[in-house]
Amino acid sequence: MDLTPEQRAEIDALRAQRTETRRAVAPALEEILYEPIPVLDHGFIRVIDYMGDDAAIVQAARVSYGKGTKKAQSDAGLIAYLLRHRHTTPFEMCEIKYHVKLPIFVARQWIRHRTANVNEYSARYSILDREYYVPDPDQLGTQSRSNRQGRGAVLEGEEADHVLGLLRADAERCYTDYEVMLNEDSDGNKLDENRAGLARELARMNLTLNAYTQWYWKIDLHNLLHFLSLRADPHAQYEIRVYADAMVETLRHWLPITYEAFVNYRQGGLSLSAKGLAVVKRMLDGEAVTQETSAMSKREWRELMESLGREA
């Protein structure tokens, strides 16, 4: 992640401003406000703004005239109760806004979450920077054999070098040709006075999917927790998971009580089916249940035993 001196100065100017407000303030989040948190080789997330704190959830749940409850302990108890019982509306009363820089193929996965507000940098209007994602060698996974949409062991030796070389060369060439078509570089300098230059809305199609884009992304807390429970998860693709992990960290700064409840009720939990629950009950009664007697498919049985930390 490389900021230009102008970008750094703009961020510093925002960080230097201090104004009084009557609103709820989250002190630990104020500490990192506007500051880019690096993700992948050229990406980042920055918290731009937020609304509410842990007490605001309680305040909304009670539709109260004042703050939440008087005691921090009862706030924690109520927040845990609300999250456990999926009373979602009080969590919708907090909001957060990020500035995110991310590869286009990650952006395409991310945008599938429709319950957020998005304003993306327009390549119809502006020229993208010469920045593209190349994985770390230790992230160069092979196609998984067990999971058709996952990765297995890491590529090694010559094959890894070859792949990295292709990714770099193709992205470089496509970007260079993008400038040639535009007849302009990213600073707006014309390359050849005798050429007209292709429209930006067309030239952009020559970029590769690892090119970086940027957007402002704003979401309420309920939908953020849902996004994080799916994306800050081992099943998520590494390249989006690292963004989600960085956002979980901003959640911890913003709403420490909600963060604890999220870790307990969303991240570390397990969802049992009716058949799975029946199996657990029989096992607790001392029965030696097997896949054959479980009424579950082999795959589900394996998944359940793994989740329970038992041999399948």
Within 39-68, which residues bind its own copies (CB under 8 A)? 48-52, 56, 59-61, 63-67
Closest contact distance (angstroms) between CB of 28 and its own copies is: 13
Residue 103's identity, in one-letter code, is P
Give the DSSP letter of residue 258: H
Task: Name the β-bridge partners of 96.
Answer: 50, 219
Nearer to its own copies, 22 or 292 (CB): 22
Residue 70 interacts with its own copies (CB under 8 A): yes or no: no
Nearer to its own copies, 149 or 189 (CB): 149
Nearer to its own copies, 61 or 246 (CB): 61
Binding string, 72-101, against its own copies, x = CB under 8 A? -----x--x---x-x--xx-xx-x-x-x--
Cβ neighbours, 10 Å, residue 200: 18
- Return d(Cα 69, Cα 75) in angstroms, integer: 6
Closest contact distance (angstroms) between CB of 273 and its own copies is: 5
Closest contact distance (angstroms) between CB of 245 and its own copies is: 17
- Total of chain residues touching its own copies, rule CB under 8 A: 137
Binding string, 3-42, against its own copies, x = CB under 8 A? x--xx-xxx-xxx-xxxxxxxxx----x--xx--------
Give the footprint of its own copies on residues 223-262 (CB under 8 A). Answer: 230, 237
Q: Is 266 a catalytic residue?
A: no
Task: Name the β-bridge partners of 103.
Answer: 212
SS3 category, 124: coil
| Backbone φ/ψ region at 183: left (φ over 0), alpha (ψ -120 to 50), beta | left
Angle value at C-alpha 83, between 27 and 217, nearest 5 degrees: 55
- Of 73, 143, 290, 293, which one interacts with its own copies (CB under 8 A)? 143
- Return d(Cα 159, Cα 143) in angstroms, integer: 14
- Of 28, 72, 202, 312, which one interacts with its own copies (CB under 8 A)? 202
Tell me, rounded to whole angstroms, the distance of Cα 30 from its chain centroid. 20
CA distances from 252 to 33, 128, 256, 263, 272 (A): 13, 33, 5, 10, 28
Nearer to its own copies, 214 or 291 (CB): 214
Closest CA to 189 of 131, 130, 127: 127
Give the footprint of its own copies on residues 155-184 (CB under 8 A). Answer: 155, 159, 162-163, 166-167, 170-171, 173-174, 177, 180-182
- Of 43, 68, 75, 215, which one interacts with its own copies (CB under 8 A)? 215
- Return d(Cα 45, Cα 8) in angstroms, integer: 14
Give the DSSP letter of residue 126: S
Nearer to its own copies, 186 or 216 (CB): 216
Tell me, rounded to whole angstroms, the distance of Cα 184 from its chain centroid. 33
Task: Name the β-bridge partners of 179.
Answer: none
- Of 146, 149, 193, 288, which one interacts with its own copies (CB under 8 A)? 149
Which of the residues 148, 195, 231, 299 is marked catalytic?
231
- Of 45, 79, 103, 131, which one interacts with its own copies (CB under 8 A)? 103
- Of 161, 195, 298, 306, which one interacts with its own copies (CB under 8 A)? 195
Just list the catalytic residues.
Answer: 231
